[in-house]
Amino acid sequence: MKFVFSYTLFFLFSVSTLQNCMNSTPTPTVPASLAPVSNSNYWYQGKAEISTFDVIQSRYGENRVAEQVNVFVTEDFSAKKQVKLDDAAAAGADRVPVLKLNAIRRFKTGIYDYSLMFSVFSPNQQALSHTLKTAWTVQDWCGQVFAQTNLEPDGSYRLRQFSYFETEGDTDQSFKPELLEDEIWTALRIDPSRFSKLGAVTVLPSTLYFRFQHKPFKVEKAQISIENGEKESVLHLAYTDIPRKLDIRFETAAPYRILGWEEADGGKLSSKGVLKKSILSDYWARHDNASAPLRDSLSLKF
């Protein structure tokens, strides 16, 4: 089974999506026939899902106490420009509804700290369609690195990296994997059954993997499967030629909330996350000082 990219399919699923940080207008009603069957009542109610995780993060050979925030929200995206639309109603066939994930991870290494963030923009439908765009940033006291992948019309990904470090430098490359590791997080939330019989697949590993392992970008062979449970299921991703594994735990029933993960490189733990709190909120409207106590509902430390 391979993921199929089709702009035509994107256009058929042009629907009104959730209000967000740049748009405070009420969320229009989405026709059930156009929204994902298993997720329509959940994703199109004018709120984002915000989840916090206690994380163990390995860095410089030691485990660090970390925290991650996952923000899942729908929005209208431009298929051509691959940016959020300012005027979705005027975009016509260029409008595609996406499920966006913003994941922020923070931890300290001795005297200084790290801030990681990755964003994924995936068509919010139950068709086997590729993610349109991903972005990664890594910031610490030494410098910062930014990387972005964009889906090209021929189905390949253009990957650009801009780095403070000489050995990494600024790069512009093209790859054609069947799957991005980073898109698994949104794809699971839309329809995990797409992974059930996928088996052998070519994958571009997580951008953070390349950054922390100081390796050049490369598509790798992998095996992917779903271990189904009554209440909790696990996605297993194991690479064939590099010693990397990723397991993601998620609720078996829709909306397939992520419960945690564990990744290992070279037989050693790279990171492990465990869900601690999850809420639905129109957080973009909660930016006043009076809303600060709402952070307590997420048990935020950083």
Q: What is the 3-state secondary structure (H, E, C) of 164-229?
A: CCCCCCCEEEEECCCEEHHHHHHHHHHCHHHHCCCEEEEEECCHHHHHHHCCCCCCEEEEEEEECC
Residue 278 placed within a domain: yes
Which pLDDT belongs to residue 129?
74
- In the predicted model, is pLDDT for residue 32 greater than 50? no
Residue 180 placed within a domain: yes
- What is the helix (H) or strand (E) element at residue 73, kind and residue range? strand 62-78
Q: What is the mean pLDDT of residues 34-51?
A: 75
Which pLDDT belongs to residue 171?
94
Rounded Cα distance between 237 and 3, Å, is 16
List CB contacts of 258: < 8 A, sequence separation 6 or more: 51, 70, 185, 188, 189, 248, 249, 250, 275
Please state, rounded to an integer, the average pLDDT across all residues of the chain.
Answer: 87
* Amino acid, res. 110: G
State the virtual CA torsion across 179, 183, 186, 190 in degrees, nearest 10. Answer: -20
Residue 151 placed within a domain: yes
By C-alpha distance, which of 224, 155, 147, 241 is closest to 188? 224
Rounded Cα distance between 219 and 203, Å, is 6
Residue 86 placed within a domain: yes
Q: What is the mean pLDDT of residues 212-221?
A: 94
Residue 202 confidence class, pLDDT cut points 50, 70, 90 = very high
Residue 24 placed within a domain: yes
Residue 125 placed within a domain: yes
Which pLDDT belongs to residue 196?
86
Evaluate the omega torsion of the peptide bond into residue 255 and state whether it is cis, within 30 degrees of 0. yes
- Give me the number of domains the chain comprises: 1
Residue 124 confidence class, pLDDT cut points 50, 70, 90 = confident
Which pLDDT belongs to residue 266?
95
The answer to whether the pTM exceeds 0.75 is: yes
Rounded Cα distance between 77 and 132, Å, is 9
State how far Cα 254 lies from the chain centre.
Answer: 17
Long-range contacts of 107-113 (CB under 8 A, 24+ apart): 107/55, 107/57, 107/59, 107/64, 107/65, 107/66, 107/67, 108/64, 108/65, 109/59, 109/60, 109/64, 109/140, 112/140, 112/141, 113/140, 113/141
Residue 1 placed within a domain: no
β-pair partners for 286? none
Which pLDDT belongs to residue 38?
47
Q: Which domain holds residue 120?
A: 7-298
Q: What is the mean pLDDT of residues 78-83?
A: 94
Residue 34 placed within a domain: yes
Length of the chain: 302
Look up residue 268 and give its two tokens: 């050693």
